[in-house]
A and B are shown apart, each in its own frame.
Chain A
Amino acid sequence: MTEMLETDLPSFPMARECPMHPPAEYREIRKQEPVSRVRMPDGQIAWLVTGHELSRQLLADPRVSSDRLHPNFPLALTTEQRKAFQDNNRLNFRRSMIGLDAPQHGVHRKMLISEFSVRRIASMRPRIQEIVDQSIDDLLAAEQPADLVEHISLAVPSLVICELLGVPYEQRHGFHEWTRKLISRTTSGVERREAAEALNDFLDDLVTRKEQGEPTDDVIGRLIARNRETPVMTHEEIVGTAILLLIAGHETTANMISLGTVALLENPEQKAQIVADSSLLPSAIEEMLRYFTIVESATARVATADIELGGVTIRKDEGVIVSGLAADWDETVFEHPDQLDFTRGARHHVAFGYGVHQCLGQNLARLELEIVFETLFRRVPTLALAVPAADLPYKDDAGIYGIYRVPVHF
């Protein structure tokens, strides 16, 4: 490997080639140097893993840490934003499993696994169908052009996660806005701290009420009851867990609904395939998850020992970004990755991560996407974008990719 001057290193994050495609640089980097070095916005140097198999290897390696308070943990933030983020973490994220390592991570995760099993999630189908139908009624009653994000993309997963967690849905405007600020790369340190504190106070209050009153029959209530029997989590850790589930439960699925709907409207042949045969939906959804791979930030790590990977040595305490987006467009694993192919069998994508931290809510996300796409195109066959897809406001400035607004006609 030719030694590059640190000032010559490519910057991370890199801009997308077009709204629907990963940064063009990923293709070349993956071929030349699948484990390469990048410069973060705060000036830190981190490793970037862009190959599919190498990504899975690293994420399954027990010698990596998810501790977001580690000084070298790669965050796509400036020094000022990073400081605020890590201060915020003292309030919340650090106390949830996304930032924990073994053995604590496993102990916390096991408190929740039963809530998200395939069977448990499948039992929610009738209620999610009702929520989707109601949201489509609201869309159809709205003035045109109507915003798909407001009426469907954000409404469905927000209502689902609120019911699941036992969070009052009427208070959604607060947590939507706090979440938007927390995942944006343009939010200042001060705004970031305020949003984190507001979200923390909101869920601290909710958890406290559930702890003090009769246990409620929802995920947080049952977690509190389970924790009473076998105490493994503190009050702050339960609040942190509630914050994680609330953010992860609405923001990610919302963006996948928006991006998937736009992609289907732009690819009428693929849309016709799933309208004609809904049994194709599960594999179509895996392909959409692969194609967009909207979360790159959750799969950053710090090495806790020297690790040999793809011909380089990642030293102990060095930061690593595993780009699932780059990995899921690895043409040696997914032929013609730029083609949306619903029959390719994309289940081994890493859009939900890999290793012990793989997304706990993935089966809920799959079910929501399946019901939305099936119902939306069946009930609203005339659905069309009100502006060209290229002109939509894409979230180039956020840690979770998506679209801010999708004006539609029907």
Chain B
Amino acid sequence: MHITADRERCVGAGQCVLAAPAVFDQDDDGLVAPLTLDPGSGEQEAVRQAVNVCPSAAIWIDKE
């Protein structure tokens, strides 16, 4: 799996951090800062949930 995160679209709700804390973090500005762009198999379900709950479509899976 490969993901993309768009800081321009991010509104800092932090939903991704709550859903997949091993994959997503927020930087000092509070914007999305992925810890990895290639989540391992153990994280993929959480990543899907993070994508589903992101309110501004700032993160997406570009390769399964």
Residues A356 and B29 in contact in the complex (CB < 8 Å), given A117-B12, A118-B17, A347-B18: no
Evaluate contact between B53 and A114: CB separation under 8 angstroms.
Answer: no
Interface residue from A59, A117, A282, A362 paired with B30 (Cβ < 8 Å): A117
Residues A353 and B55 in contact in the complex (CB < 8 Å), given A110-B29, A114-B28, A347-B19: yes
Residues A116 and B55 in contact in the complex (CB < 8 Å), given A347-B18, A358-B13, A360-B12: no
Q: Which chain A positions have C-beta within 8 A of B31?
A: 113
Which residues 86-118 of A have a CB within 8 angstroms of B?
Answer: 106, 109-110, 113-118
Q: Determine the distance from Cα of A360 to Cα of B31 in the docked complex, in whole angstroms.
A: 12
Evaluate contact between B56 and A60: CB separation under 8 angstroms.
Answer: yes
Evaluate contact between A60 and B12: CB separation under 8 angstroms.
Answer: no
Of listed A114, A118, A355, A362, residue having the most chain B CB within 10 A: A118
Which residues 41-57 of B have a CB within 8 angstroms of A?
Answer: 49, 52-53, 55-57
Counting CB contacts under 8 A, is A348 at the interface? Answer: yes
Q: Mark contacts of B3-45 with chain A using CB atoms, 8 A cut-off: 1 yes-contact digit, 0 otherwise.
A: 0000000011111011100000110111100000000000000
Counting CB contacts under 8 A, is A363 at the interface? Answer: yes
Q: Determine the distance from Cα of A282 to Cα of B17 in the docked complex, in whole angstroms.
A: 14
Q: Which chain B positions have C-beta within 8 A of A282?
A: 18
Q: Which chain B positions have C-beta within 8 A of A394?
A: none
Residues A356 and B56 in contact in the complex (CB < 8 Å), given A116-B30, A118-B26: yes
Q: Determine the distance from Cα of A113 to Cα of B56 in the docked complex, in whole angstroms.
A: 14
Q: Which chain B positions have C-beta within 8 A of A356?
A: 11, 55-56
Q: Which chain B positions have C-beta within 8 A of A59?
A: 55
Evaluate contact between B11 and A347: CB separation under 8 angstroms.
Answer: no
Evaluate contact between A60 and B19: CB separation under 8 angstroms.
Answer: no
Interface residue from A60, A114, A347, A363 paired with B49 (Cβ < 8 Å): A347
User: B28: nearest residue on chain A (CB-CB)?
Assistant: A114
Interface residue from A110, A117, A347 paired with B14 (Cβ < 8 Å): A117
Evaluate contact between A116 and B12: CB separation under 8 angstroms.
Answer: yes
Counting CB contacts under 8 A, is A119 at the interface? Answer: yes
User: A106: nearest residue on chain B (CB-CB)?
Assistant: B11
Q: Determine the distance from Cα of A115 to Cα of B18 in the docked complex, in whole angstroms.
A: 17
Evaluate contact between B12 and A347: CB separation under 8 angstroms.
Answer: no
Q: Mark contacts of A338-368 with chain B using CB atoms, 8 A cut-off: 1 yes-contact digit, 0 otherwise.
A: 0000000001100011111011101100000
Evaluate contact between A114 and B29: CB separation under 8 angstroms.
Answer: yes
Evaluate contact between B55 and A355: CB separation under 8 angstroms.
Answer: yes
User: A60: nearest residue on chain B (CB-CB)?
Assistant: B57
Q: Determine the distance from Cα of A32 to Cα of B13 in the docked complex, in whole angstroms.
A: 33
Q: Determine the distance from Cα of A363 to Cα of B55 in the docked complex, in whole angstroms.
A: 14
User: B11: nearest residue on chain A (CB-CB)?
Assistant: A356
User: B56: nearest residue on chain A (CB-CB)?
Assistant: A356
Q: Which chain A positions have C-beta within 8 A of B56?
A: 60, 355-356, 358
Residues A363 and B14 in contact in the complex (CB < 8 Å), given A60-B56, A355-B56: yes
Q: Which chain A positions have C-beta within 8 A of B19?
A: 347
Q: Which chain B positions have C-beta within 8 A of A114?
A: 12, 28-30
Interface residue from A115, A348, A359 paired with B53 (Cβ < 8 Å): A348
Q: Determine the distance from Cα of A358 to Cα of B29 in the docked complex, in whole angstroms.
A: 17
- Nearest chain A CB to B13 CB, angstrom units: 5
- Nearest chain A CB to B29 CB, angstrom units: 5
Q: Which chain B positions have C-beta within 8 A of A363?
A: 14, 18
Q: Which chain A positions have C-beta within 8 A of B30?
A: 113-117, 120
- Nearest chain A CB to B10 CB, angstrom units: 8
Evaluate contact between B55 and A354: CB separation under 8 angstroms.
Answer: yes
Q: Which chain A positions have C-beta within 8 A of B49?
A: 347-348
Q: Determine the distance from Cα of A212 to Cα of B30 in the docked complex, in whole angstroms.
A: 28
- Nearest chain B CB to A144 CB, angstrom units: 38
13 A-B pairs within 8 Å (CB atoms) are namely A59-B55, A110-B29, A113-B12, A113-B29, A113-B31, A116-B30, A117-B12, A117-B17, A347-B19, A356-B11, A358-B15, A359-B13, A360-B13
Interface residues of A (CB under 8 A from B): 59-60, 106, 109-110, 113-120, 282, 347-348, 352-356, 358-360, 362-363
Known: A113-B12, A362-B14, A363-B14. 11 other contacts (CB 8 A): A59-B55, A110-B12, A117-B17, A120-B30, A347-B15, A347-B53, A352-B13, A354-B55, A355-B55, A355-B56, A360-B12
Q: Which 9 A-B pairs have the closest CB atoms?
A: A113-B12, A113-B30, A358-B55, A114-B30, A117-B30, A118-B14, A117-B26, A118-B17, A358-B13
